[in-house]
Amino acid sequence: MDIKQRVNEIFSEEANAISSIPVNDEFERAVKLLQACKGKVLTTGMGKAGHIAHKFSATLCSTGTPASFVHPGEAAHGDLGIIEENDAIVAFSTSGKTKEVLDTLAGGRKLGLHTVIGITSHPDSELRELSDVVLDMGTIKEACTFELTPTSSMAVMLAISDALALLLMELKGFTTEDFGKRHHGGYLGKKARNSS
């Protein structure tokens, strides 16, 4: 195996997946719903998608949109209680068929969950039916030799979530001073405070 060639192939597969994301009016709808959310912004996902959802909530918090990750497995054992009326949730699932995620959304609706934004790839996913807005990941070819390990799909989820977070930040007029207040430690906090 030519390692450098294979690395370039993997990078190319993931870059192609990101550049193929269908950008349409649903992005504007999603961002405006999150901006107008009168309750909490929550995120959820299982497995690798859950890690992306968790990272998304952290990025939102650091850029002016308080958010929290809800683990769909734990939601079935009481953590669903975080959901209240007027909350919005962003649900990540490539297949859109992950039972724990679907159960979290269905249960959340019973508690008054206002808005569901689904991020999924499969056209026949149940997540689409449960969502008010769907951000389509497009058709994805995983970089894995077996086309099983979620790599390209996670790169796409990450790119979509980063776009949402940055758009919200810009729409809210978030400043470097605001950034510095939320990062009282570390390199980024110091950089933000020195530039404001």
Q: What are phi and psi of 134, to 5 degrees?
A: -120, 125
pLDDT band at 196 (very low <50, low <70, confident <90, very high): low
Contact 171, 31 (CB under 8 A): yes
Say which range, 69-73, 84-88, 112-116, 182-186, has the weakest mean pLDDT: 182-186
Q: What is the domain range of residue 136? A: 3-195
The stretch 166-175 carries a mean pLDDT of 95
pLDDT reported for residue 163: 98
pLDDT band at 184 (very low <50, low <70, confident <90, very high): confident
CA Rg value for the chain: 17
For the chain, the domain total comes to: 1
pTM (predicted TM-score): 0.95
Domain at 127, CATH number: 3.40.50.10490
